[in-house]
Structure 1
Amino acid sequence: MREALAGLTVRGRAFVAAGVTAVVCAVLLGQPALTRVGVLVLALPLVTALVLGRSRYRLALVRTVSPPLVTAGQQARVTLSLSNEGRTPSGVLLLEDHVPYVLGTRPRFVLEGIGHGWQRQVGYQVRSDVRGRFEVGPMSVRVSDPFGLVELGRAFRTTSALTVTPRTVALPAIPLGGSESGSGDNRPRAFATGSAEDVTVREYRRGDDLRRVHWPSSARVGELMVRREEQPWHSRATVFLDNREVAHRGEGIASSLETAVSAAASVAVHLTRRGFAVRLVTAAGEDRSSGWHERGAEPSTAPLLESLAVLRPTPAPRLDTAWLGEAGHGGLVVAVLGAVQQHDAPVLRRMQSHQGSALALALDVEAWVGATGASTAPATGLLAQQGWRVTTLGPRDRLEARWQELGAGARSGARRAAPERRTTEVGR
């Protein structure tokens, strides 16, 4: 009852004040009829608070976000399933779901006729142009009487996550080079002596099919071993994203960092569709949550895109090189770079030498603040000296066109190398 009295609305408090005033005036003026009116006006909010405070309603909420992973600019639907497990009916329900401002305005619903076993389902749509992971909820509930005299507030604690990934664009197919680089379990082998079974098995890894377990080798070694030759081999590619604060310009969704993130996401999706196993490496090192795909699994960019959705700029002024010391991670590397300084040259040289083929998208970061692209020319020149195939990406450039330029550079290089090969053959 105390909670119900504290939940009196402005209208309810006005009724109480009017009732008390009417009773006092009736006593002072000797008007019994006015006393009855004052008692009626005073009793109405008090009785309403008593009835509403004693109502035993138990609301259950199930929130569903579909789909939980969307691309920036796409809509997701939030469905709220409500039910009343209490034994007595309640008044009018006023629902308000708390959502971040980037997803839109807070949805509000008014539901009536809430009795025992009552169930209702409502929904609304959310949309974000900004990448990130957002919490939808919690939902607050206010129970009101039909007269609007008393409101009781309740709040659910549960929330649901919605991940908004960066925008991607479809990229054309280009000669990538190094497509046969990388490591896998089904690489051709020649056996001069001994049994092939002894060299074509490896230790069991989580996710391997148990039907591929090689029991004789497992019994001999003492741990599960699987046949190596039956495992599929995937080409590997590394997407490197320079997310240092000092390497980018601009703020918000119009910054050079957001363009770099979108470019890295587009490249990762493109490479995955071409059969590459893709990992993400940032200026802070390898992202373990989006590492190489499991053997036998279909290529999927969902973990990598989720990592890009929550990527933040790092204050580190230099590029991390710990991941370059790992063996067996050759193949293709595609770097999306911001402003490159001279002290980054050794890292870029090591990065290119550790991979089978190296491509770079160098952002003209000064163009994001209206300055000239003077700082980009040294960056592209430095990358070209290190053996990179590089092109420049500005704020007004189309990514697919710049990606096509990388392929055109590879074809021209192949045409220049062809006559040399023919000359060498004739010389023999």
Structure 2
Amino acid sequence: MRDGMAGLTLRGRAFLAAGTTAICCAVLLGQTTLTRIGVLVLVLPLVSAFVIGRRRYAVSAIRSVHPRLVAAGQPARIDLDLANDGRSPAGAVLVEDQVPYALGTRPRFVLQGISRQWRRRVSYQVRSDVRGRFEIGPLTIRVADPFGLVEIRRSIPGVAPLVVTPRTVTLPPIPVMGGWSGSGEHRPQAFAAGSAEDVSVREYRRGDELRRVHWRSSARVGELMVRREEQPWEARASVLLDNRLRAHRGQGLGSSFEFAVVAAASLVLHLDQHGYAVRLVLADGTGADETSTAVLERLALVTTTQQPVLDVGWTGDQTRGGLVVAVLGGLERTDVLALRQIRHDAGAALAMVLDVDEWAGRSAQPAGPPPSVAGLGWRSVTLGPRDRLDSAWRDLGRASGRAAAVTTALKATGADR
């Protein structure tokens, strides 16, 4: 009864006040009929509170998200498995799930006929244009009487995460030089069985297996020689995202930073589909070798940093000989040393430079890459807020093709000389 009285609605409290007033007036005026009406109006919310408060239901909910990882602008389905494990039926209940504002309005369901051992599944869809990690839940259940005089709310604990990754753009395949590197002692090659010169060998080291000893080379040299370990080469790529606050302009979804995040996500997926082992590196130098799914999940939560310059602590053995694709914001003179170091360690370096002045609403700068990038051996392209990522990537491919042709011509000239 206590729960029922605490759940009186505004209508229920009005009925109590009206019934009490009617009884008092009937006593003062001596109106028997008005007394009956006042008693009826007064008892009705009390009976409703008694009946609703006596219900011993225990509704449980299990929430599942499909898929757990979804791209911005794509819908996700939420399944709610509801069950009544209580001793008495609950009649009709109103179910309301709590969702963040970015995912849309709160879904509401009216469920009828909730009896003992009752089971039901309800589903709804959510969609977000904003990347991030969202918590869905908890669930709120409201039980009310048919007259709307009493309403009891109960919250069912439990939340489920939904990760909204940046939207991606399908990029065309382009010829990219560099990126191939190996962890073994040499690049695999075809060996002939009849000649020692066709076999790549080295001196015997303590711990080498005897089955690797190449006896013909050992007899010719006069000391034990073993075949080199053959390790397959792999294509490695690093996607550098310039997430410095000072390098970007604009606010919200229309900012240059959000454009850079979309570009980085598209590059990660594209390189992963073409056989590259991709890692994402931020302006502060943090990065790790992860799967493309893990990288997209990381991009869903990435924010800007107060880092003043690009950190080059991630370059070195992990970058040497590999491909580096950078998505850069507004560049300053202090970035020249970092860009030179990254280009020195990379086998090939491509850059998408954002013209942040266009995002700031100022007049666009002359087209073409900044001198600090073009003069350091980077193949780059400049993008504005209305430019297409796939077209910019295709332009980078053309620049790579021209660079490859020039390199081949120079090598041929040197060979002729």
Give the TM-score of the pair, scaled to structure 1.
Answer: 0.85
Larger radius of gyration: 2
2:66 aligns with: 66
- Equivalent in the alignment of 1:322: 313
CA-based RMSD of the aligned residues comes to 2.3
CA distance in 1, matches of 2:243, 2:125: 32
| Structure 1 residue 413 displacement after superposition | 2.0
Percentage identity across aligned positions? 52
| Partner in structure 2 of residue 194 of structure 1 | 204
The answer for the alignment partner of 2:414 in structure 1 is: 424
CA displacement, residues 273-293 of structure 1 (integer Å, 9 cap, x when unaligned): 110010010112223xxx224
Paired amino acid for 1:168: T
Q: Which residue of structure 1 lines up, in the alignment, with residue 18 of structure 2? A: 18
- Structure 1 equivalent of residue 323 of structure 2: 332
Partners of 2:87 and 2:116 within 8 A in 1? yes
- Change over 3 Å in CA distance of 1:27–1:343 after alignment to 2: same
Question: Contact 2:96/2:109 (CA < 8 Å) preserved in 1?
Answer: yes
Answer yes or no: is 1:360 the counterpart of 2:351: yes
**Paired residues for 1:119-268 under 5 Å:** 119-181=119-181, 183=183, 187-188=187-188, 190-194=200-204, 198=208, 233-268=233-268
AA matched with 1:176: V
Describe the shift of the 1:182–1:333 C-alpha distance in structure 2 as closer, same or farther (beyond 3 A): farther
Q: Once the two structures are superposed, what CA deviation does each residue of 1:46-83 show, in whole Å capped at 9, x if it has no partner? A: 11111211211111001111111111110011111111
The whole-number CA distance in structure 2 between the counterparts of 1:416 and 1:231 is 31
2:386 aligned counterpart, secondary structure: coil
Question: Could you say which residue in structure 2 is the equivalent of 1:409?
Answer: 399
- State the distance in 1 between where 2:374 and 2:170 align: 26
CA 1:315/1:356 → structure 2, altered by over 3 Å: closer, same or farther? same
- TM-score calculated relative to the size of structure 2: 0.87
Cα distance, 1:199 vs structure 2: 8.1
Instruction: Note if contact 1:183-1:328 (Cα within 8 Å) is conserved in structure 2.
Output: no
Q: Which runs of 5+ in 1 are unaligned?
A: 201-227, 294-299
- 1:94 maps to 2:94: yes
Which consecutive unaligned segments of at least 5 residues does structure 2 have?
Answer: 190-199, 211-227
Paired residues of 2:177 and 2:404 also in contact (CA < 8 A): no
Secondary structure of the corresponding residue to residue 363 of structure 2: coil
Letter in 2 for 1:162: L
How far apart, in 1, do the equivalents of 2:206 and 2:275 lie?
A: 28
Please tell me whether residue 369 in structure 1 is matched to residue 366 in structure 2.
no
1:57 aligns with 2:57: yes
Give the whole-Å Cα distance in 1 for the aligned partners of 2:410 and 2:129.
51
CA contact (8 A) 1:61 1:82 kept: yes
1:292 equivalent in structure 2: 289
- Against the structure 1 CA distance between its residues 120 and 185, is the aligned structure 2 distance closer, same or farther, given a 3 Å change threshold? farther
In the alignment, the residues of structure 1 paired with residue 187 and residue 266 of structure 2 have an alpha-carbon distance, to the nearest angstrom, of 29
Q: Which amino acid aligns with 2:364?
A: G
SS at match of 2:173: coil
What aligned pairs does 1:77-116 form with structure 2 within 5 A after superposition?
77-116=77-116
